[in-house]
A and B are shown apart, each in its own frame.
Chain A
Amino acid sequence: MPGVQRITGRAVAINRANIDTDQIIPASWLKRIGRTGFEAGLFEAWRSDPDFPLNRPGAAGAKILVAGDNFGCGSSREHAVWALQNFGFAAVVAPGFADIFRGNAISSGLVPAQAGADAVAAVFAALEADPAAEVTVDVAGLAVEVPTAGLKAPFELAGYARWRLMEGLDDIGLTLRHEDAIAAYEAGRRPWLPAQPVPQA
């Protein structure tokens, strides 16, 4: 996965709290076995409303989604992250994220930029005034910016997550550097813990 330092582009604003992953990608899409082709399912039900922000001119090609608090609550489906990325989004700016969604986003290289509620409200206001305003999510500088509105606000991203996103690192590869510690742990597990028979290849 490629590293990401700074994302600049148009933004789509969905000013609702508690947007759940069933809205982001409905269950009927989860039968697919790849990580691509989910863009048409992104917010499928809400897109039937012609006024839905994703249907507005300029949404196509947008790189940043701005949303309300507790974004991505509900199901653990990583398909929600893939659908956002397949559509073209590289970052989501919100006052808060559901835990599993945040982890999924970081794993797949979508930046979950958690900014203060006041800062996100200011971004919403700036985008209402100028829907075509360019927005920057600066991963290196941990700031979200709307230059035409004179707005620059910090966002939170844990240090390890930020480093991984910037370097585009494979989490499994990083963990396997601790293979000795994993093997040592395995030698001391409680003897009664359940295990399945494994057929010999």
Chain B
Amino acid sequence: MTGRLFDKVWDRHLVTSPEGEPPLLYIDLHLVHEVTSPQAFEGLALAGRPVRRPDLTVATMDHDVPTIGLDRPIADPLAAQQIARLKENCAEHGITLHGLGSIEQGIVHVIGPQLGLTQPGMTVVCGDSHTSTHGAFGALAFGIGTSQVEHVLATQTLRQAKPAAMAVTVEGALADGVTAKDLVLGIIAALGVGGGVGSVIEYRGEAIRALDMAGRMTVCNMSIEGGARAGLIAPDDTTFAFLEGRPHSPKGRDWEAALDDWRSLVTDDGAEFDHEVRIDAAALRPAVTWGTNPAQSVSIDGKVPDPASFATPAAQQNAQRALEYMGLEAGTAIRDIGVDVVFIGSCTNGRLADLEAAAEVLRGRKIRPGVKALVVPGSARVKKEAEELGLDQVFTSAGFEWRSAGCSMCLGMNGDILTPGQRSASTSNRNFEGRQGPGGRTHLVSPAVAAATAVAGRFTLPGDL
């Protein structure tokens, strides 16, 4: 048999494929947060429908929670109302909620893996496009809209036409100082921002196998930035070592049975994909985005591209428009671009390994005067673990603000925003116009480059300091 990992996970969740309808897939884990769920719960109430499987549903608050002053009431009345509504909805339906103040509160895509809730071969959904993160465990994980959130709450299934299967094979090894973030930005640059539309990507090859779980999550997290429906990495000993002993991981004989099962979750030799892309890991350098979508990146050694260098008039126009928004001149060396704000955090790069990588650069250094820099751990537990390692001291001594867990400046819902015209180096996932605040200019980078850039005040590699 020559099955693909994607087919194996898909097939084991197929509830029914009725004639003339998209198949129904069973959902093993539904993650819920405050922003995309209130209208779904309201829909259930209007139709008089219960939550079918509250035991397979887990909620947290992340998108608009404050990251400072948690001892005070939430100042933003709309955010406070939304957070209160999530509490009410979870209480009414018996849904586990890791709310503010809980050690398990945090960004939904950080807490799932941290708790061992995300396991190989599962289906995971959440009303958030970065749900693709969970694919790092060999789980099939889809970001969904609010109507689908309501559908999953009511039926524990998702209606989903089967996407195409794409293989992104990363051969060779990443050079020293080139991280998973640089790798995925390179992949998206190769795919284009819409190159993955209609597909589930399986990331394969030596460079993927060499990544730790934090790195694999960073790669799968940004699958959506290439337009893909989901991203997947086959589970292996790295995956199993991460999962063993976590609160929701199988225990005892179940663990042994699960391991036997999980080891079958690989793409068999000879299996074919609908699309294949090959990336040479050794050719990648630390990446910095210059434009207003995540496919618009170059090496930190490079220059802001000339719009005239793009192939089609539409692409030239897009690049021109991006440069105007970003306030950049073609031909400027990336290292000559100064920044006002540095943000380290998000579901892409808010894990302990990311904070460690940034702290390593900052130890014994100070950020450049005039730069505002903040670290927002991906979860309350990541914050605690970092503090146990003394990382908070490293960050605050360097001049960073040490915040509490949430999505924060990745999307700027909670008041952590750029002011118009401000330029950031950000470890988040989107550099869309206004993403971090109206008029803000976002450059996506890895945690190590973000830290070095905070020290120099312009885009810099740790080795340059």
Chain A residues with CB under 8 Å of chain B are 16-18, 20, 22-23, 26-28, 30-35, 44-45, 68-70, 73-79, 81, 96, 98-100, 103-104, 107-108, 158-160, 170-172, 174-176, 178, 181-182, 185-186, 189-199, 201
Q: A76-B129, A201-B94 are in contact. Are A18 and B193 (CB under 8 A)?
A: yes
Chain B residues numbered 49-94 whose CB sits less than 8 Å from any CB in chain A: 49, 52, 54-58, 63-64, 76, 78-79, 81-82, 85, 94
Of B20-28, B213-221, B353-361, B363-371, the stretch lying at the interface with chain A is: B20-28
23 A-B pairs whose Cβ atoms sit less than 8 Å apart in the complex: A22-B433, A30-B413, A31-B81, A31-B413, A33-B38, A45-B433, A76-B128, A96-B194, A98-B197, A99-B163, A104-B147, A107-B147, A158-B22, A171-B147, A172-B155, A182-B52, A182-B155, A185-B15, A186-B156, A191-B254, A194-B117, A194-B119, A196-B57
Contacts of A96 in B (CB 8 A): 194, 197
Set B82, B143, B151, B198: member contacting A33, Cβ < 8 A = B82
Q: Which residues of A contact B39 (CB under 8 A)?
A: 33-35, 78
Q: Are B24 and A33 in contact (CB under 8 A)?
A: no
Partner of B20, one of A35, A160, A199: A160
Q: Nearest Cβ in chain B — how far from A176, in angstroms?
A: 6
Q: Measured between alpha carbons, how far is A32 from B22 in the docked complex, in Å? A: 31
- Across chains A and B, the number of contacting residue pairs, with CB separation under 8 Å, is 198
Contacts of B227 in A (CB 8 A): 70, 73, 98-99
- Give residues 27-46 of B contacting A (CB, 8 Å): 28-29, 35-36, 38-39, 42
Total number of B residues with any Cβ neighbor in A under 8 Å: 84
Check if B155 sits within 8 Å of A194, measured CB to CB. Answer: no
**Least distance between A107 CB and chain B CB atoms (Å):** 3
**A181 and B145 contacting across the interface, CB-CB below 8 Å:** no
Is there a chain A Cβ closer than 8 Å to B397's Cβ?
Answer: no
- What is the 8 Å Cβ interface bit string for chain B, positions 209-229, against chain A (1 contact, 0 not)? 000000000000000100101
B438 within 8 A of A: yes
Report the separation of the CA atoms of residues A136 and B372 in the bound assembly, to the nearest whole angstrom. 51
Given that A18-B293, A76-B127 are known contacts, is A182 also in contact with B157, CB under 8 Å in the complex?
A: yes
Is residue B161 within 8 Å, beta carbon to beta carbon, of the partner chain? yes
Distance of A107 Cα from B158 Cα, bound (Å): 12
B122 touches A193 (CB 8 A): yes
What residues on A are CB-neighbors of B318 within 8 Å? 16-18
Q: Nearest Cβ in chain B — how far from A162, in angstroms?
A: 11
**Which of A99, A185, A192, A201 is B197 in contact with, Cβ under 8 Å?**
A99
A160 & B116 in contact (Cβ 8 Å cutoff): no
- Residues B64 and A31 in contact, CB atoms below 8 Å apart: yes
The one of A22, A33, A98 that contacts B194, using a Cβ cutoff of 8 Å: A98
User: Which residue from chain A places its CB closest to the CB of B57 in the assembled complex?
Assistant: A196
- With A33-B39, A178-B18, A201-B94 already in contact, 17 other A-B pairs whose C-beta atoms are closer than 8 Å: A23-B433, A23-B434, A27-B435, A31-B35, A45-B434, A70-B194, A70-B227, A76-B36, A98-B227, A100-B144, A104-B147, A171-B151, A185-B15, A186-B26, A192-B255, A192-B258, A194-B116
Q: Which listed residue (B159, B248, B257, B433) contacts A194, Cβ 8 A? A: B248
SS of A interface (majority)? loop
Cβ of B47 within 8 Å of any chain A Cβ, yes or no, is: yes
Residues of chain A within 8 A (CB-CB) of B29 are 194
Q: Which one of A18, A35, A74, A171 lies within 8 Å of B129 (CB-CB)? A: A74
B61 CB, min distance to chain A CBs, angstroms: 12
A171 to chain B, nearest CB (A): 6
Whether B55 contacts A20 by the Cβ 8 Å rule is no
Contact A193/B119 with A31-B64, A159-B20 known, Cβ cut-off 8 Å? yes
Contact check, B35 vs A192: say whether CB atoms are below 8 A apart. Answer: no
Q: How far is the CB of A113 from chain B (nearest CB, A)?
A: 16
Distance of A174 Cα from B197 Cα, bound (Å): 27
Instruction: Indicate if the CB atoms of B261 and A172 lie closer than 8 Å.
Output: no
Which residues from B are CB-within-8-Å of A77?
35-36, 145
CB <8 Å contact, B145 and A76 = yes
Contact B257 A198 (CB under 8 A): no
* Cβ contacts under 8 Å, A159 to chain B: 20
Cross-chain contact A103 with B145 (CB below 8 angstroms): yes
A32 to chain B, nearest CB (A): 7
Shortest B7–chain A CB gap in Å is 18
A70 touches B197 (CB 8 A): yes
Question: Roughly how many angstroms separate A171 CA and B55 CA in the complex, as a whole number?
Answer: 23
Cβ of A31 and Cβ of B79 under 8 Å apart?
yes
Q: Which of B16, B63, B82, B127 has the largest count of A CB atoms less than 10 A from its CB?
A: B16
Q: Is A108 touching B433 in the complex (CB atoms < 8 A)?
A: no
Across the interface, which residues of B come within 8 angstroms of A108, CB to CB? Answer: 147
Q: 6 nearest interchain CB pairs? A: A107-B147, A104-B145, A192-B250, A31-B78, A70-B194, A78-B145
Report chain A residues within 8 Å CB of B156.
182, 186
| CB-CB under 8 A for A176 and B155, given A18-B194, A76-B128, A99-B227 | yes
Q: Which residues of A contact B154 (CB under 8 A)?
A: 172, 175-176
